[in-house]
Amino acid sequence: MAGSSHGHTPAAWTGVIISFIGFCVAGVFMVAANVVGFWAGIAIVLLGGVVGLAMKAAGLGMPKESAEMAQARARAGQAQVS
C-alpha cells in the first residue's frame, strides 16, 4: 500500500482537515448542549467534503488510472499470487 500514495493529494488533505475541524466544533458544542453550534459543526464537516470534491474536480486530486495501468496492476497481482 505504501507505493500507491492513496489519498496523498492537496484535495484529500484539505477535505480531511476541514472535516476534522468541523468534527471538533460539533463535539465541543455537543458537550456544551448547544444544538445550533452542533449543527454548525456538522455543516463544516459537510463543507470539507464539498471542498475536497471541488479541488479534485479542479485537478488537485489523484489522476484517473488508465486502462493500461489497470491491466499492468492486474498482471502484477496475479504474478505475486502464483
Per-residue pLDDT reduced to its tens digit, 24-38: 999 999 999 999 999
Task: With a cut of 90, say whether residue 19 has pLDDT above it.
Answer: yes
Which DSSP string do the residues of the chain spell out, in sequence order?
A: -GGGTTT-SHHHHHHHHHHHHHHHHHHHHHHTT-HHHHHHHHHHHHHHHHHHHHHIIIIISPPPPPHHHHHHHHHHHHHHH-
Global pTM reads: 0.73
- For residues 52 and 7, the answer to whether their CB atoms sit within 8 Å is no
* Cell triple for 23: 468534527
